[in-house]
């Protein structure tokens, strides 16, 4: 099952681009023509009619697992970001004109990556990671269209294999976020441990505050402890963040 656990969060629903690629493959296998194919995806994810579009018409055979999805955001349980909706609109326009969908996607991917009206370059954290990943998947999706056109391989089969690859990426990301839960908890624990020690001293009848603040050596120890705690917290957070943002 496709999932998104960006930034260490819990299961937050399907991974948008993985589901979209699965739906593309399913619609092609269902006999949709290109213009109709992108129209249906636009109605589901970005069009004005999204609220009235039946999800069952774009259900993925085998990928949806016959599980009903909540309809939120853009008309489905899976919500695309603004950069993905922009690229989807370009793909739909190219399909309606009869021009190359792959070329249209690549142009929009280049524009979004360059920061033309997009949030990808500026956004940090889990949202930024997801946005950059979505744009990368759009570029790979365009390559799938080119590969199918050049080789004559059925596009539905190419997209199905690509969707399986994305699901493997999602599983690897989920495993990495699970592995990082321990280091994150350790960072929080070590941050509060000195204060816990002071509280324990007070409970035992000792006055550590007076001892630390009542002489120069105590003040020096407090200053050094605070400085080392802050440096350790920043360093540990940076290591965890670097591991979380590492490409799969």
- Clarify whether residues 168 and 234 are in a common domain: no
Question: For residue 237, what are the domain limits?
Answer: 180-244
Beta-carbon count within 10 A of 45 CB = 25
Shared domain check, 206 and 158 = no
Residues of the chain short of pLDDT 50, as ranges, are 1-13, 48-76, 117-122, 248
Tally Cβ neighbours within 10 Å of residue 106.
20
pLDDT (tens digit per residue) in 228-239: 888 888 888 888
Say if residues 12 and 75 touch (Cβ distance below 8 Å).
Answer: no
What's the token pair of residue 95? 């399909």
Q: Is residue 33 part of a domain?
A: yes
Name residue, tokens 């909540």: 70
Residue 186 inside a domain? The answer is yes
Domain-terminating residue out of 162, 177, 192:
177
User: Is 27 a domain residue?
Assistant: yes
Residues 35 and 137 in one domain: yes
Q: What is the pLDDT of residue 247?
A: 56
| Res 9: pLDDT | 39
- Judgement on whether residues 34 and 130 belong to the same structural domain of the protein: yes
Residue that has been written with the tokens 């249906």 in this structure: 40
Are 149 and 53 within one domain?
Answer: yes
Residue 119 shares a structural domain with residue 69 = yes
* Contact residues for 120 (Cβ-Cβ < 8 A; gap 6+): 83, 112, 113, 128, 131, 132, 135
pTM: 0.63
Structure tokens at 221: 């120890």
Cβ count within 10 A of residue 33: 11
CA distances from 166 to 21, 174, 190, 197, 225 (A): 9, 12, 36, 47, 46
Question: 69-102 burial by CB neighbour count: b if 16+ within 10 A, else e?
Answer: eeeeebbbbbebbebbbbbbbbbbebbeeeebbb
Last residue of a domain, one of 149, 177, 205: 177
- Considering just the CA atoms, what is the radius of gyration of the chain in Å? 25
Residue 125 placed within a domain: yes
pLDDT tens digits, 74-132: 334 567 888 888 898 888 888 888 888 889 899 888 888 887 544 444 455 567 778 88
The residue from 177, 211, 231 where one domain ends is 177
Number of structural domains (the chain) is 2
Asked if residue 1 belongs to a domain, the reply is no
* Eight-state DSSP code of residue 48: G
Under a CB-based contact definition with an 8 Å cutoff, are residues 99 and 35 in contact?
Answer: no
- Please tell me whether residues 34 and 106 are part of one structural domain: yes
């Amino acid at each position: 099952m496709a999932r998104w656990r960006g930034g260490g969060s819990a299961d937050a629903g399907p991974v948008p681009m993985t589901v979209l690629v699965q739906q593309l493959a399913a619609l092609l296998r269902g006999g949709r023509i290109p213009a109709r194919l992108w129209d249906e995806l636009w109605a589901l994810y970005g069009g004005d009619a999204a609220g009235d579009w039946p999800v069952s018409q774009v259900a993925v055979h085998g990928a949806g697992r016959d599980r009903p999805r909540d309809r939120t955001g853009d008309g489905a349980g899976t919500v695309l970001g603004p950069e993905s909706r922009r690229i989807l609109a370009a793909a739909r326009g190219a399909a309606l004109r009869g021009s190359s969908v792959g070329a249209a996607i690549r142009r929009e991917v280049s524009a979004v990556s360059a920061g033309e009206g997009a949030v990808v370059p500026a956004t940090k954290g889990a949202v930024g990671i997801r946005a950059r990943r979505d744009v990368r998947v759009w570029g790979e999706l365009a390559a799938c269209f080119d590969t199918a056109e050049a080789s004559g391989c059925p596009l539905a089969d190419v997209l199905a294999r690509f969707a399986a690859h994305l699901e493997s990426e999602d599983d690897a990301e989920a495993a990495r976020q699970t592995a990082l839960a321990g280091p994150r908890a350790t960072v929080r624990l070590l941050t509060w441990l000195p204060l816990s020690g002071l509280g324990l001293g007070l409970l035992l009848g000792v006055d550590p505050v007076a001892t630390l603040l009542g002489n120069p050596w105590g003040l020096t120890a407090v200053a050094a402890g605070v400085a080392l705690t802050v440096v350790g917290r920043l360093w540990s957070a940076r290591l965890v963040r670097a591991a979380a943002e590492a490409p799969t």
